[in-house]
Chain A
């Protein structure tokens, strides 16, 4: 075999290997993965993007008061005379109601606000003098209206010397808006700035299908939400007229899972897009 033939064989072999390798490479090669025109257009939009401000729930019409974290301190208040009416399994029922409240809140406000709660699993027996001044039977109450109760609780529940003191219950997470939910072994349903005063029946009587709805309705008041029904004869309105079908309006008479919070309220709390 002379040198020329050998050279030729080597040359053909090299070309063959290169062609086969290139062929295999080409077959496995993806030349275009993204549409070039589309990408260019996409970049154009990218530059026009303007980020939205972070959305955090705040107190009704008071943006300074954040409701990002809400903590419920729930107590079962029993007047001295009504201690015999305490139903079996009340803590479980109250916890269930509070869980439903938290779920509903989450459904309505999503991740903008988170509700936690703690329930004192001992009924707090209140003295008649405290009980008698509670704002039950009224349509609207303010925090100062339960100052006597607040004082009582401060002394007997939240003070480390109090007979109902529970360190775990009294602990409040940081940066939290606290709502005192006070189940009362008596009639009444009223909510105001940071508190709810609700008859125990609403969360223990299965016949009251709107019980937890009422709980949230009053809880809404605790967050500053107004009533969406007319309870006094105002100009242009009739008594009992509703302004919405939501939980603050006529929707308070629906099961909680079928009611909602009106957009105008959400807007006033910074929860919805303006």
Chain B
């Protein structure tokens, strides 16, 4: 498949005269422009959008992770703080004395008026410490151990500073109420405590040099580092116990299970696979999102936990947007937030395949969309380019056709723009060019005709001149022979000799006729034009001609009827020519009408013409020869049989003369019955002439 962007071979219009190689077609240019206009903005917009989407997502991921880490950290801190708040005990007395522990307590005031005598030894009624510790254990299911420790140096009391005075361990809790159902109370210590040396009881720890004790006597709360037991992680917390005046009268210590963090972290999720977990200061995992199989008893070792121990963490307590490989081998975007007081760190990790999933999805959709748009652009550009260039191709074809001389108009275009106007202009131009071409052809034809006519005229003139010269040259000897024969007739000679002379005279007469015809044919050839126009009386001419043939009419005993017009009519023309015309027509009637036949000459006057009819009862003309009767040298077959002498020029001359006068000649004929010749001359004025033209030659 040829590339869409490949250039076509140069288009060549295959016409020798009009061929012109071009670098490309408008269609290709259209397609290229469409593609560029479509692809470049699309690509720019897509790339920019994806870039900003990526940047935005990157920030968004960090923000979401920070938010989750901060939320978890706050929940952890809140849990500790809430527990510590429950540890904030203020006794309702002003004395700087420890809370009653039930031993050798003397009198215990219950109220302003009531008091209990505790007596010597242990009296549980007076053991307020146990009550308080019991209450704490019952109220907080996450406490495993609580204890009071001494912070007062009081005379008469053998309890050392930092010495625990009461400790309760909860060994078992109710599964329903979570109350401490089994407490471990070291009873032998109770006995020991009642003695003079309570410090002998090893259950009650002594820690005057500990951080816990120092924090409490300084009036601060204490939160230890988490430690790991088989029951999970615990943390040691402690608060000072104060009297009404705010004096510190004891310390309260508790071992708090961090199991509540399980709940805090259980549903910590980001996207589909993002998770959070809590690690201690040695990167040991404490709790994690449900389903996250962090290895047990092994520190989490990754880029993040390594950094937490490094200089980066100390400044900010939070590492954000770190990208590294988690312990499962996935690349993650991680955020950590340290709770430095607790030695804990919340780590949020989001596998970036999931974190950026939306970006990938959008990128994929964008690429898909771009490809579809690109395909659409390609298809649409091809269609549009075809639409745009179709009229141009039609115009190009039309121009090429015009160049080849085909001026047929192209079909009208309805593009409604300049192309329609251009097509219209081309059609107009073709029309004009066609007119010019026809004119040119006509001019050429007329030029050729003129040349042909001139040549013909020249030939006719040459022929006429020859005939004229030859005829005139013949006349003189004919006349001489005729004259000498007439003289010879006068001589006395035998009858046979006279017969011979008579025969010779007849042939001389024929020769004279032929000579006359030839002279006339020369004078009145094709294209004869009347030169000396005058007014000719037809009546007179007919009379002269009939008179000319009178001897032959009489000889043949023909009946001649001349029906003249009501009044003499004059036609504009040449007298000699009209005379020759009627000599030929009337002469033919006389020659080809049998003895005793009938000849009628009728002159009819029309409004604009004069019609002369010469009809006879002669041999007629065969119908098949009617068409050729006015042809040069043509003689009808029956005419030749009747009279073997004749030139066949008579009717030819007659037609030329009539044509020369603007008239017309035609005939009707029936074989064996006779013929009628009609001659019609146009008449401009019907004014009769009083006299004939004086200049008529004899």
Contacts and interface: CB of A to CB of B under 8 A. Distances in A.
B282 A258 contact: no
A151 B303 CA distance: 54
A35 B360 contact: yes
A66 to B, nearest CB: 18
A268 interface: no
Contacts of B209: 236-237, 241, 243
A103 B297 contact: no
Interface string B135-146: 000000000110
Interface in B272-293: 282-283
Contacts of B205: 242, 245, 249-250, 253
Given A30-B360, A209-B171, A241-B206, A258 B234 contact: yes
A255 interface: yes
A5 interface: no
Nearest to B302: A49
Contacts of A52: 301
A250 B253 CA distance: 13
B228 interface: yes
B79 to A, nearest CB: 19
A242 B331 CA distance: 46
Interface core residue of B205, B303, B324, B375 (most chain A CB under 10 Å): B205
A46 B322 CA distance: 12
Interface string B229-271: 1110010100000000000000000010000000000000000
Interface stretch (A37-45, A74-82, A140-148, A154-162): A37-45
Contacts of B296: 110
A103 B228 CA distance: 13
A13 B356 CA distance: 40
A260 interface: yes
B30 interface: no
B368 interface: yes
Contacts of A241: 162, 206-209
A59 interface: no
A164 B313 CA distance: 60
B54 A37 contact: yes
Contact of A32 (B186, B282, B364): B364
B333 interface: yes
A240 interface: yes
A31 B364 contact: yes
Nearest to B309: A273
Nearest to B353: A34
B325 to A, nearest CB: 7
A238 B206 contact: yes
Interface string B162-190: 10000001010000000000001010000
B131 interface: no
A153 interface: no
B52 interface: no
Given A27-B368, A37-B54, A107-B297, A42 B324 contact: yes
A111 interface: yes
A263 interface: yes
A239 B363 CA distance: 72
B367 interface: yes
Contact of A238 (B208, B309, B323, B364): B208
Interface in B191-226: 199-200, 202-203, 205-210, 225
B323 A38 contact: yes
Given A27-B368, A111-B297, A39 B331 contact: yes
A269 B3 CA distance: 73
A109 interface: yes
A38 B331 contact: yes
A220 B207 CA distance: 22
B122 interface: no
B359 A35 contact: yes
Given A45-B324, A238-B160, A240-B202, A32 B363 contact: yes
A259 B230 CA distance: 8
A49 to B, nearest CB: 7
Contacts of B144: 258
Contacts of A86: none
A254 B230 CA distance: 12
A46 B297 contact: no
Interface string A111-132: 1100000000000000000000
Contacts of A257: 229-231
If over half of B's interface residues share one DSSP class (helix, strand or loop), that class is named, otherwise mixed; here it is mixed
Contacts of A26: 368, 371
B298 interface: yes
A209 B489 CA distance: 201
B325 A31 contact: no
A249 B356 CA distance: 51
B528 interface: no
B171 A255 contact: yes
Contacts of A209: 169, 171, 184
B208 A253 contact: no
A19 B229 contact: no
A260 B360 contact: no
A250 B227 CA distance: 14
Nearest to A110: B297
A22 B169 CA distance: 72
Nearest to B283: A273
A92 interface: no
A263 B282 contact: yes
A109 B234 CA distance: 16
Contacts of B299: 273
A183 interface: no
B660 to A, nearest CB: 66
Contacts of B356: 34-35, 38
Interface in A213-253: 229, 236-243, 245-246, 249-250, 253
A239 B371 CA distance: 84
A110 B255 CA distance: 23
Contacts of B282: 263, 272-273
A45 B325 contact: yes
B34 interface: no
Contacts of A256: 230
Contact of A42 (B199, B331, B359): B331
Contacts of A258: 144-145, 169, 229-231, 234, 255
Nearest to B368: A26
Contacts of B230: 103-104, 107, 256-258
Nearest to B362: A32
B352 interface: yes
B228 A107 contact: yes
Contacts of B160: 238
A108 interface: yes
8 contacts: A31-B363, A34-B353, A48-B303, A107-B229, A245-B255, A253-B202, A258-B231, A260-B234
Given A249-B205, A253-B202, 5 more contacts: A31-B363, A35-B352, A45-B324, A241-B162, A243-B210
